[in-house]
Structure 1
């Protein structure tokens, strides 16, 4: 959904590379010389941790995008090649623009030179599966004892017809960012890692401030993406965004629109008109809480260091939840790896996928300041030890997730559903239609797309 550039965090994590590389547990990046040098040492320490089951010389072609701008590609390659001297990883950079379209064209055109494919989005993944271009992984997962529970339920959501065709290797999930200075000034306790939506709304109202002679403080902020509001409703694991029934969204729209009416959050229409980026909203030191993905962490740290952000005292907590829902239930975006059905090196390709998507790969990815799909204690310690990350225990605990749900699950009609939901969200939030009429519109139009 969003590429993240990450400069300062790479330098900040080089001190912990050696310790993570040797252990077996556990949206913007720029590669640097320091990262490559640190991961050279890391590669030598992981030599005994991964090996293919053949000694034959093999060259694997890995299809990806933005090789030079992404920190974790080369460290992963270096570590795997050091551990497997007989394997050479050749990259095929297809660019970020229309990446999945280009990849699908290559694979459906009979290109057998691509062995490992990076999966950028869910609709593209579904397309490749439907076109029979990806190797099913069920038997491989069973034979190698891969515990898919480590992915916090994500693999269940990308299973198609009882088969899994990709494994996640990186992921970002949503948390609540909060401005400690604004809470302190209001004399209000900080948010916690176990808040119901009612408690979250109450807190936003308490910290909001519109007193004469003081600068306006908004208790909460919702970016203009539909996901910032609609996806509150899927955290119970009972509802999805692609079923064609959206009555479950009503209480969340009511909460946010009431906050908007009462001045607790900024006006949606004004945000759209001004094209205000969520980062700028938080930087201005007027937003007490903001729900956003973990990709914002490195961006915020960098903005504080450069002086761009006035919000210098901050923390994060887990997403709020409905009554009876486990704290730590959240939304996620993922990047996965798959093996091409046409690959002539499937055994080696599968082993590489196992390495990158497993705990060893997760440790390497975390060392570049990026969130891997597997969030082990080791990974969490690495990320929370980055210079500039909040030192409080609450912000560290917030990195532990319980259940993660994809923003848009696998569905052949996902693009059409997305368009309908976006339009309805925009109309509801701007007051063009009522919540009831907006939900009715979603129900009818999506049901028609689904043929119900």
Structure 2
């Protein structure tokens, strides 16, 4: 494993080399004198919100490199990219998820790390290929704008107490969405004046994720009439029109104990917090239900990544930080905390969730039994198309609107809005 920090002995060696070939080495400093130490430097770290492993990463980097301090800056009012650029304070490092780089690229805020990868002889092959492929999609000419530090995953979580209460067999790995809907029918009811819902399948983004559907074509036109969206809407309609299984807020009711099954991304940290507070849930998980069009596929690949700002004055140090965070040493600890390592390393995978008490006895292998679906080609206009898709689903579920009509209308409205944005 390579280290990218400069130890005192290595710094002394580099000083010797800097004097020129063939020249004698400098006389060692007299006993009692301190050798030169790296100047302290603060690297600002831009984050869309607070992340659970934020403090661990900051402390791990500072312990390894005492002269480097990471200072998190959270996106928000007065701290949006355009605000920070205007103030001349845009951060050195950027922490973000793979699908959301379009605004940063449009502002030329992402630095191409290819030269740094070469000069540091950084081994890209050690990183998850699906995560890397998704990142590389953003480089029109082979640019590398980020490196993954851990991967997200999707599963179906279920409340064992509700299945026991109503005498229904637990979910199993390998279910289809039809299988899951059938279970939801058995569990959606009112009992003792309490409404229990069988399943929450999240929203449109998750609903189409396994199918790797682009929301907008490369031409800049909305793609919401593609057959895959019809498939996803039919599935979501089936689930959310089960009597008593109205759509709710993601996870809120599941944590309250009134939803039997919930499909979503990694929320192991929330279960661990409940466990530590003495209010644990009796839960477990299985693989995500699948579409016949995408067998064995979980949600699309979604890695959490670090990028270097094109405006940073400390690009070498920023890369040093990223390289250390992707080292086996740090990745092992991230993995133990319940975040899938970005490394392709069986030794690391074996330690997954080792620090989480709530994972003991759980079906942890459900996380690894499916492959992530490939990431679709993301565009800067995706949020527009997604917003109209979400409205279309509400019309289908709440008002009984025909699916094909709803998607056609959403597609037309999205194209009108995209055209407006293109003119700006």
TM-score range, shorter chain: 0.7 to 0.9
* Partners of 2:145 and 2:174 in 1: CA distance: 34
* Residue of 259, 262, 284 corresponding to 1:290: 262
Task: Note the alpha carbon deviations across 1:33-81, whole angstroms, 9 max, x for none.
Answer: xxxxxxxxxxxxxxx7553598382555432368996553443344334
1:64 aligns with 2:41: no
Deviates more, 1:70-79 or 1:252-261: 70-79
Task: Select 2:391's aligned residue among 420, 423, 427.
Answer: 423
- In structure 2, how many angstroms separate the alpha carbons of the residues matched to 1:67 and 1:218? 32
- Give 2:122's match in structure 1, choosing from 134, 140, 144: 144
Residue 176 of structure 2 contacts residue 289 of structure 2 at CA under 8 Å; is this kept in 1? yes
For 1:187-228, what per-residue CA distance to the aligned partner results, in whole angstroms no more than 9, with x for missing partners? Answer: 5443233222233223333x42548879664331244x433x
Partner of 2:111: 135
| Pair 1:370–1:97, CA change in 2 (3 A) | farther
Spell out, residue by residue over 1:133-192, the C-alpha distance to the aligned partner (whole angstroms, 9 max, x if none).
221123444642212751633642552313221123244332211122333455544323
1:153 has 2:107 as partner: no
Alpha-carbon distance in 2 for matches of 1:341, 1:242: 27
Task: After superposing the two structures, state which structure 1 stretch, 378-387 or 59-68, moved more.
Answer: 59-68
Structure 1 position 349 matched with structure 2 position 318 = yes
- The CA distance in 2 between the partners of 1:203 and 1:183, in whole Å, is 10
The 1:240–1:49 alpha-carbon spacing in structure 2 relative to 1, beyond 3 Å, is: same
Q: Is contact 2:199-2:262 (8 Å) kept?
A: yes
1:218 has 2:197 as partner: yes
Q: Hey, what's the Cα distance between the residues in 1 that align with 2:260 and 2:195?
A: 11
Q: Structure 2 matches for 1:155-194, cutoff 5 A?
A: 155-157=133-135, 159-161=138-140, 162-194=142-174
Normalising by structure 1, report the TM-score: 0.70
> Structure 1: how far apart are the matches of 2:196 and 2:415?
41
Match of 2:233 among 235, 253, 257: 253
> How far did residue 387 of structure 1 move?
0.8
Does 2:74 align with 1:95?
Answer: yes
Distance across 1 between alignment mates of 2:190 and 2:165: 13
Structure 2: which 5+ residue stretches go unaligned? 12-36
C-alpha separation between the residues in 2 aligned to 1:96 and 1:77?
A: 18
User: 1:388 maps to which residue?
Assistant: 358
Q: Distance in 1 between matches of 2:177 and 2:49?
A: 42
Classify the secondary structure of the residue corresponding to 2:199.
coil
**Secondary structure at the residue paired with 1:199?**
helix
The CA distance in 2 between the partners of 1:204 and 1:426, in whole Å, is 20
SS in 1 for 2:358: coil
8 Å CA contact 2:187, 2:260 repeated in 1: yes
For residues 258 and 49 of structure 2, what CA distance do their matches in structure 1 show?
36
- Mark the CA change 1:121 to 1:145 in structure 2 (over 3 Å): closer, same or farther: closer
**Equivalent in the alignment of 2:253:** 281
Equivalent residue number for residue 414 of structure 1: 382
Residue deviations 1:92-137 (CA, integer Å, cap 9, x gap): 3333424861x4443466558x4323346854x3222223222112
Alignment of 1:48-63 (within 5 A): 49-51=3-5, 55=11, 57=38, 59-63=40-44
Which structure: larger Rg? 2
Q: Aligned pair 1:126/2:108, yes or no?
A: no
User: Once the 2 structures are TM-superposed, how far is the Cα of residue 448 of structure 1 from its aligned partner?
Assistant: 4.1
Q: 1:51 to 1:180 in 2, by over 3 A?
A: same
* Aligned position for 1:300: 271
TM-superposed CA distance for 1:242, in Å, is: 2.8
Alpha-carbon distance change, 337 to 419 in structure 1, aligned in 2, over 3 angstroms: same
Describe the SS at the equivalent of 2:156: strand
**Counterparts in 2 of 1:164 and 1:442: CA distance versus 1, 3 Å:** farther
Spell out the pairing of 1:429-448 with structure 2 (5 A cutoff). Answer: 429-431=397-399, 433-448=401-416
Once the two structures are superposed, residues 219-264 of structure 1 have per-residue CA deviations (whole angstroms, 9 ceiling, x without a partner) of: 31244x433xxx3334133x2233322232223322332333332x
Q: Which residue of 1 aligns with 2:211?
A: 236
Q: How far off is 1:338 after superposition?
A: 1.3
- TM-score normalised by length of structure 2: 0.74
**Partner Cα distance (2:117, 2:356) in 1:** 33
